[in-house]
C-alpha cells in the first residue's frame, strides 16, 4: 500500500532537516518567534505557521531504536531531497517507492512510521531550550510569546495585530506533547539528532 507524504514531512525534508525536525529546531531556538520561524531552516506549510498541524501528527511513544533508526535514515533522505522538493505534495510512484525503501532499510515498517517518528521527535525538539536543555511544551512557549507581544508597547499596532494573528494560528496548529517520556529519549540523542539534521 502506498503511503502519501504529509505536508509536514515534505516541508521539513525539503529544508534538509529530515522530515519535521526543521520546524522543531527553529521553534526551540526562536521560542516560536512569529516571523515564520522555519524560514531559515526550510519552507513553511501553507498556513504560514510553520508548525505541524495537530491533524498531521500522530503522537506515539518513542523507543530508543526508533530514534536511532531515524538518525540513520537522514543521510538517505538528504540524498533525494532535490527529488522531494521537485515533487511538491504529490510524489510520483518512483519517489514514493524510494521513500518506502529508505524507511524499510532503516527498520521502519513503512514511510508513514518514519514520518510519525520524525513528527514526535520534532515536538520534543521544539520544546527543548537551546541553552538549558529543559523542555517547555511548544504550545506554552507560543502562549508566552503571545503575552510578551501583547504587552510590548513599542510594536506598532498593525505589526502587533499581524504578529498576534500568526501566533494564534501557530497555537491552534501546534500539538501538545502527549507522551512526556519522549523527552528523555530525545534528550539522550539530541546531539546526534542535531548533527544528522545539519
Cell of 113: 512510521
Domain ranges of the chain: 7-196
Mean pLDDT of 116-132: 90
- Would the pLDDT of 146 be above 60? yes
Query: Quick one: pLDDT at residue 35?
Result: 33
Q: What is the pLDDT of residue 92?
A: 86
- Cβ contacts of residue 127 below 8 Å, gap of 6+? 27, 28, 135, 136, 137, 138, 141, 177, 183
The tens digit of pLDDT for each residue in 1-59 reads 333 334 334 333 333 333 333 333 333 333 333 333 332 233 333 333 334 444 567 89
Query: pLDDT by residue (tens digit) across 55-76?
Result: 567 899 999 999 999 999 999 9
Residues in a beta bridge with 167: none
The overall average pLDDT reported for the chain is: 76
Amino acid at each position: 500500500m502506498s503511503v502519501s507524504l504529509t505536508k509536514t514531512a515534505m516541508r521539513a525534508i525539503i529544508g534538509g532537516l529530515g522530515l519535521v525536525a526543521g520546524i522543531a529546531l527553529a521553534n526551540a531556538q526562536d521560542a516560536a518567534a512569529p516571523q515564520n520561524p522555519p524560514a531559515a531552516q526550510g519552507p513553511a506549510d501553507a498556513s504560514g505557521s510553520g508548525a505541524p498541524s495537530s491533524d498531521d501528527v500522530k503522537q506515539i511513544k518513542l523507543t530508543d531504536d526508533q530514534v536511532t533508526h531515524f538518525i540513520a535514515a537522514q543521510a538517505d533522505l538528504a540524498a533525494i531531497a532535490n527529488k522531494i522538493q521537485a515533487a511538491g505534495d504529490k510524489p510520483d510512484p518512483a519517489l514514493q517507492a524510494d521513500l518506502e525503501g529508505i524507511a524499510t532499510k532503516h527498520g521502519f515498517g513503512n514511510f508513514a512510521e518514519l514520518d510519525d517518528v520524525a513528527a514526535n521527535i520534532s515536538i520534543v525538539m521544539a520544546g527543548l531550550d537551546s541553552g538549558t536543555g529543559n523542555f517547555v511544551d511548544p504550545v506554552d512557549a507560543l502562549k508566552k510569546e503571545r503575552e510578551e507581544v501583547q504587552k510590548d508597547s513599542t510594536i506598532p499596532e498593525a505589526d502587533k495585530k499581524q504578529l498576534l494573528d500568526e501566533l494564534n494560528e501557530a497555537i491552534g496548529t501546534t500539538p501538545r506533547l502527549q507522551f512526556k517520556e519522549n523527552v528523555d529519549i530525545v534528550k539522550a540523542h539530541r546531539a546526534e539528532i542535531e548533527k544528522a539534521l545539519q
